[in-house]
Amino acid sequence: MTRSFEKVGVVGLGTMGAGIAEVFARAGLTVVGVEADHEALGRGRSNLESSTGRALAKGRLSEAEQAEILGRVTLTTSLEDLADADLVVEAIPEIMDFKRTLFTELDRICKSSAVLATNTSSLSVTEIAATTGRPGRVVGMHFFNPAPVMKLVEVVHTVVTEDGLAEEVAALARRLGKTPVSVGDRAGFVVNRLLLTYLNHAAVMLENGLATREGIDTAMKLGVGVPMGPFALLDLIGLDTSYEVMCVLFQETRDRRHAPAPILRELVTAGLLGRKSGAGFYNGEAPPTPPAAGKPTVTSVAVLGEGAEEFAARLGDAGFKATTPQAATRADAGATEDATEDADVVVALSHTPVIELAARLPHPRRLVGLHLVGDKLAEVASTVLTSPEATCAVEGLVKIVGRVPVHCKDRAEFVVDALLYPYLNDAVRMYDSGYAGMDDIDAAMKLGCGYPAGPFETIDTLGLETVRDGLRALYAEYRDPAFAPAPLLDQLVTAGVRSIRGLS
């Protein structure tokens, strides 16, 4: 028999709990909101009033509707008032001891058929469930911030969750106007596990000096179309929260990639927590736009590599003497050098490091690698031999052809692909482990992060072989096992499969 959820409790009316209570009340459910004490209850009430007040001011609610919604919420400081609730959602701070104590109490107070749910972002739902005498009726219901706006809810089941319960909770989420995705109980679930791992990787890249924080942010926004670059997003999420989630992930996996980047710990220790403290990776302002590169002082440019003709033609139109020596391969480096002898700079269009080519030229200081990404971005890679003047000149040339230059070191896959491919690989491993379905993972990343496409859609767009080969190059460069292509991806490429989503 399907459960009916009509009376729900929400414990903790802070950032998340107040929003969750509002979501339930808007859907017509009776809500009991519980806070720790009277002072916190006052804050909870004003959280609720100001959130619905904003909707009223924007014309999304009438006064009568606001009153009706607030009228469905009873506020209390006594957990005993949850005795006849059908469902209780907990949204108290992310501290296991607090949650365990609370669930022991809820288990004692709530009727035996009641479902107990946690809004935890990273803690083990299984461990929380185990503190109760009804572990089969304890699930995760992970809402996103702000709960009234964000459509995604991760419904987390454990190995002991009663059959059918996760689907009943998902049906409730749909009734609330949300899109539920079903996930197993692993630290970070889908969104935080994939997102924070990628953000942490960006922080490691920054520490390694691959590019600047502005460069990495710009590259990801323009190259992938994500709404915010990783450092602006880390500042928004909060560096302390991000650090904690990484610690929980690392504790579970012992995977080096989940070890929080030391720069996160340093910033957090210094009290630089991101927007909430006024400064983090950025100092409270919007990320500055990188300074415009000056007009290049060079007059002649040799362009090598795939797409050289078109690039050179654009430079020619802009008044430069641009040549495209054909002998751009390593084996023909001598011929390349002859052909580039007169050029002030040599641009090697490439998606792989250019140091080998540079090392064979008598004037390697002039050679700069250039990776065109999409139609807006150009990664400008300088090798250990490249002169600052040549790099600067190429940044200027890139602007002339209407692209934004992002300077980086000459490393496998440069910036965008080096961040993107491991994220895609993580998603494939996640799917292959049976943890969540492809459609759910795609939906979670689109709805939870505002990404234009989910990871599996992105893999299909880029091509499975391109992603696999990019991962192989990253693995060869960094020797990080996490960059080795997921066996499933490798096998699909070998089998000639064109669409990974065709499997789902």
Of positions 6, 15, 111, 174, contacts ligand NAD by CB under 6 A: 15
Binding status of residue 121 toward ligand NAD by CB under 6 A: yes
- Cα–Cα distance measured from residue 222 to residue 218, given in angstroms and rounded to the nearest whole number: 6
Binding status of residue 94 toward ligand NAD by CB under 6 A: yes
Binding status of residue 432 toward ligand NAD by CB under 6 A: no
Looking at beta carbons only, is 11 or 117 nearer to ligand NAD? Answer: 11
Characterize the bridge pairing of strands 152-156 and 179-183.
parallel
- Cα–Cα distance measured from residue 365 to residue 342, given in angstroms and rounded to the nearest whole number: 14
Question: Mask 141-160, x = binds ligand NAD (CB under 6 A)?
Answer: --xxx---------------
DSSP 441-465: HHHHHHHHH--SS-HHHHHHHH-HH
Looking at beta carbons only, is 303 or 445 nearer to ligand NAD? Answer: 445
Binding status of residue 302 toward ligand NAD by CB under 6 A: no
Q: Which stretch binds ligand NAD (CB under 6 A): 92-100, 321-329, 333-341, 430-438?
A: 92-100
**Nearest distance, CB of residue 92 and ligand NAD, angstroms:** 4
Binding status of residue 326 toward ligand NAD by CB under 6 A: no
The strand order across the sheet containing 138-143 reads: 73-76, 30-34, 7-11, 87-90, 115-118, 138-143, 152-156, 179-183
3 state DSSP class of 185 = coil
Looking at beta carbons only, is 94 or 344 nearer to ligand NAD? Answer: 94
Looking at beta carbons only, is 102 or 196 nearer to ligand NAD? Answer: 102
Of positions 3, 14, 81, 472, contacts ligand NAD by CB under 6 A: 14
In 3D, which of 302, 342, 350 has the Cα closest to residue 326?
A: 302
Of positions 12, 184, 188, 405, contacts ligand NAD by CB under 6 A: 12
Lookup: tokens for 199: 């953000």
CA distances from 325 to 302, 345, 352, 383, 407 (A): 7, 13, 19, 21, 24
CB burial of residue 479 (10 Å; 0-12, 13-18, 19+): exposed
Active-site residue, from 142, 157, 258, 407: 142
CA distances from 264 to 24, 93, 206, 229, 240 (A): 36, 21, 11, 16, 8
Lookup: tokens for 488: 């499933």
**HSE (side-chain half, CA atoms, 13 Å) at 163:** 1
- Cα–Cα distance measured from residue 329 to residue 342, given in angstroms and rounded to the nearest whole number: 19
Active-site residue, from 47, 51, 121, 200: 121
In 3D, which of 143, 204, 232, 214 has the Cα closest to residue 419?
A: 204
Contact indicator for 149, 118 with CB cutoff of 8 Å: no
CA distances from 58 to 24, 54, 476 (A): 20, 6, 53
Of positions 10, 27, 102, 493, contacts ligand NAD by CB under 6 A: 102
Binding status of residue 125 toward ligand NAD by CB under 6 A: no
Looking at beta carbons only, is 232 or 322 nearer to ligand NAD? Answer: 232
- Paired with 494 in beta bridges are none
**HSE (side-chain half, CA atoms, 13 Å) at 389:** 7
Looking at beta carbons only, is 148 or 369 nearer to ligand NAD? Answer: 148
Q: Which stretch binds ligand NAD (CB under 6 A): 137-145, 169-177, 223-231, 495-503?
A: 137-145
Q: Which stretch binds ligand NAD (CB under 6 A): 94-102, 357-365, 483-491, 494-502?
A: 94-102
**Nearest distance, CB of residue 30 and ligand NAD, angstroms:** 19
Of positions 7, 9, 10, 17, contacts ligand NAD by CB under 6 A: 17
Looking at beta carbons only, is 40 or 313 nearer to ligand NAD? Answer: 40
Known catalytic residue at 154: yes
Residues 6+ apart with CB under 8 A from 283: none
Looking at beta carbons only, is 119 or 350 nearer to ligand NAD? Answer: 119
**Nearest distance, CB of residue 14 and ligand NAD, angstroms:** 2
**Nearest distance, CB of residue 244 and ligand NAD, angstroms:** 9
Binding status of residue 50 toward ligand NAD by CB under 6 A: no
Tell me which residues in 24-43 interact with ligand NAD (CB under 6 A): 34-36, 40
Contact indicator for 162, 137 with CB cutoff of 8 Å: yes
Binding status of residue 91 toward ligand NAD by CB under 6 A: yes
Q: Which stretch binds ligand NAD (CB under 6 A): 65-73, 119-127, 380-388, 470-478?
A: 119-127
Of positions 21, 25, 75, 92, contacts ligand NAD by CB under 6 A: 92
Alpha-carbon dihedral of residues 230, 235, 240, 246, nearest 10 degrees?
-10
Contact indicator for 412, 448 with CB cutoff of 8 Å: no
Of positions 51, 52, 120, 132, contacts ligand NAD by CB under 6 A: 120
- Paired with 367 in beta bridges are 346
Known catalytic residue at 142: yes
**Nearest distance, CB of residue 269 and ligand NAD, angstroms:** 21
**HSE (side-chain half, CA atoms, 13 Å) at 109:** 19
Binding status of residue 228 toward ligand NAD by CB under 6 A: no
Binding status of residue 448 toward ligand NAD by CB under 6 A: no
Residue ranges that bind ligand NAD, judged by CB under 6 A:
11-17, 34-36, 40, 91-94, 98, 102, 119-121, 143-145
Question: Annotated catalytic sites, by residue?
Answer: 121, 142, 154, 192
